[in-house]
Amino acid sequence: MGDNKKQVEEITSMSEDFARWYTDVVMKAELCDYSSVKGCLIIRPYGYAIWENMQHELDRRFKETGHENVYMPVFISESLLQKEKDHVAGFAPEVAWVTHGGSEPLEERLCVRPTSETLFCDHYSKIVHSYKDLPKLYNQWCSVVRWEKTTRPFLRSREFLWQEGHTVHATAEEAQEETIRMLNVYADFCKEFLAMPVIKGRKTEKEKFAGAVATYTIEALMHDGKALQSGTSHYFGDGFPKAFNIQYLDKNNQLQYVHETSWGVSTRLIGAMIMVHGDDKGLVLPPKVAPIQAVVIPIAMHKDGVKETAQMIYERLNKKFRMKIDLSDKMPGWKFSEYEMRGVPVRIEMGPRDIENNSVILVRRDNGEKITVSMDSLEEELEKLLNEIHENLYAKAKAMLEEYTVNAVTFEEFETLLNREKPGFVKAMWCGEKECELEIKDKTGGVSSRCILETEAPISDKCVCCGKPAKHLVVWGRAY
């Protein structure tokens, strides 16, 4: 029991220091480690297994919507990057440059890709000629480099893993439909796979992606009441296509420019999931994404038949679920604590008395509940329990999102709500002026617009900051 207590005490409590709690969990659950290059992470096997599960599920959803995977080079020539001025200006501060090949200086600097719009555009300009070539629905799984000043595991690092979809269409309507379709794919994935509710909306002009006509976002609420942008989908219109001369002959034999989209999520989703579901014992992983869905822990292994029965149960369940069995000589209390800290959704305990009764004990990670079930119906009971855990995690996260999403009509209300211990999301009206948005950020010490809610009714007719006629209902919050 002493070992168990020590293991839990090594994780800082959320209420004491949320940032420290997050780092403790990431490191002690062995999700990642710091590398010798500042700001770059090593994703360890357990962390990478989580990413692989996300990747497989998202990839399936992309292919169901007609997308194909491609791979683009890691380097972008400076002249290519310069072709879309807004885009290059937006990324300039974060670009890493290659200036030498071996000992020889390069004739032209190469950028290590921060994103791949220019590469896709260059390629599309060569392969799109006719309306028959459209649409092109491409996606890439890769890493990108952005020279961030401040880094935090999974949330912000100089190199990170992601997917980036880049599509071109014959009409603006088709491209706009694609932008919203992929935003919904992300939102559904978060709900159905990560048990994570999100708010969907459009970014303001100030916050949109460099070079986009419109940027849409999914915003998640972390346990400390801060927002995390968890995925974005961009409508580019024909801006990039004009810069890169991506034209096609339509059915009337007239030259037209294509209309473009781009969309992406990254390993930041791992950080989001940790901060939405975790607790003071460590990780709490939704069953669908968990590398280990259930762990078998035999009690009193030295007694006749215990080890053998545990092995038999493990082999049975491993045909259907992602399983682990712990036959190490560590104390049971230590094992319980370790797998709780690593977020394994279900622990399966069995000792001599359970075996006599042809039963096992299932222990839920999400709420600690213990359930005795017959060995004969174990597959059915475990499947049912994993589904219940997913639903419970989603319901709990959704209840928090709803509790901490509130309306403000006056600036006094607005400030008070955003200075709560858990600031959450505050909905308030906005005039649409960038100066007003900047003034809000300045007056509140960093509160930013998260997204414009285009389908919800206004809550007043005046801007919360300047009092002028309001144009948009906006979600505001403090963010990572």
CATH classification at residue 359: 3.40.50.800
353 and 263 housed in the same domain: no
Q: Within a domain: residue 288?
A: no
The alpha helices in 224-331, defined as continuous H runs, are 239-244, 268-277, 306-317
pLDDT at 3 > cutoff 70: no
DSSP per position, 348-402: EEE-HHHHHTTEEEEEETTT--EEEEEGGGHHHHHHHHHHHHHHHHHHHHHHHHH
**What torsion, rounded to 10 degrees, do the Cα atoms 247, 248, 250, 252 define?**
80
- Distance separating alpha carbons of residues 236 and 242, to the nearest angstrom: 11
Mean pLDDT of 352-379: 96
Mean pLDDT of 345-372: 96
pLDDT at 419 > cutoff 80: yes
At 130-188, the pLDDT tens digits run 999 999 999 999 999 999 888 899 999 999 999 999 999 999 999 999 999 999 999 99
- Distance separating alpha carbons of residues 379 and 175, to the nearest angstrom: 45
- pLDDT at residue number 302: 87
340 and 245 housed in the same domain: no
Counting every residue written for the chain, the total comes to 480
207 and 356 housed in the same domain: no
Structural contact between residues 58 and 265, judged by C-beta atoms closer than 8 angstroms: yes
At 232-246, the pLDDT tens digits run 999 999 999 999 999
Structure tokens at 69: 């995977």
Reference 194, options 53, 64, 402; nearest CA is 53
Domain closes at, from 277, 304, 338: 277
49 and 193 housed in the same domain: yes
409 and 444 housed in the same domain: yes
Structural contact between residues 352 and 366, judged by C-beta atoms closer than 8 angstroms: no
Structural contact between residues 230 and 190, judged by C-beta atoms closer than 8 angstroms: yes
> Token pair 């509130």 is at which residue?
406
Which neighbouring-strand residues pair with 370? 363
At 403-414, the pLDDT tens digits run 999 999 999 999
- pLDDT at residue number 2: 45
Neighbours of 374 (CB within 10 A): 12
20 and 145 housed in the same domain: yes
CATH of the domain at 409: 3.30.110.30
Structure tokens at 199: 């708010």
Q: Worst-scoring range by mean pLDDT, 1-10, 269-278, 367-376? A: 1-10
At 26-83, the pLDDT tens digits run 999 999 999 999 999 999 999 999 999 999 999 999 999 999 999 999 999 999 988 8
pLDDT at 1 > cutoff 50: no
Q: Within a domain: residue 282?
A: no
- Distance separating alpha carbons of residues 35 and 368, to the nearest angstrom: 35
Q: Within a domain: residue 286?
A: no
319 and 435 housed in the same domain: no
Q: Within a domain: residue 287?
A: no
C-alpha distances (whole Å) from 285 to each of 196, 346, 378 are 11, 10, 21
> Which domain range does residue 374 map to?
294-385
At 297-321, the pLDDT tens digits run 999 988 999 999 999 999 999 999 9
- pLDDT at residue number 294: 98
334 and 185 housed in the same domain: no
- pLDDT at residue number 135: 98
Structure tokens at 89: 């200006």
- The backbone torsions φ and ψ at residue 380, rounded to the nearest 5 degrees and listed phi first, read -65, -40
Can you say how many angstroms the Cα of residue 44 is from the centroid of all Cα atoms in its chain? 18
Q: Is 411 helix (H, G, I), strand (E, B) or coil?
A: helix
- Distance separating alpha carbons of residues 156 and 150, to the nearest angstrom: 7
- The backbone torsions φ and ψ at residue 340, rounded to the nearest 5 degrees and listed phi first, read -65, -45
**What torsion, rounded to 10 degrees, do the Cα atoms 466, 469, 474, 476 define?**
10
Q: Within a domain: residue 289?
A: no
Domain closes at, from 223, 250, 277: 277
Q: Within a domain: residue 44?
A: yes
217 and 334 housed in the same domain: no
> Token pair 């999700």 is at which residue?
31
Q: What's the domain count of the chain?
A: 3
Q: What is the mean pLDDT of the chain?
A: 95
- pLDDT at residue number 427: 98
86 and 180 housed in the same domain: yes
Structural contact between residues 262 and 268, judged by C-beta atoms closer than 8 angstroms: no
Residue 171, phi-psi category: left (phi > 0), alpha (psi -120 to 50), beta (remainder):
beta
pLDDT at 110 > cutoff 90: yes
Q: Within a domain: residue 7?
A: no
Edge-to-edge strand order for the sheet containing 370-374?
323-325, 294-298, 346-350, 359-364, 370-374
- pLDDT at residue number 9: 56
59 CB-near residues (< 8 Å, 6+ apart): 69, 139, 141, 163
Domain closes at, from 355, 385, 415: 385
106 and 211 housed in the same domain: yes
Q: Within a domain: residue 457?
A: yes
130 and 262 housed in the same domain: yes
The alpha helices in 65-112, defined as continuous H runs, are 78-81, 85-91
CATH of the domain at 190: 3.30.930.10
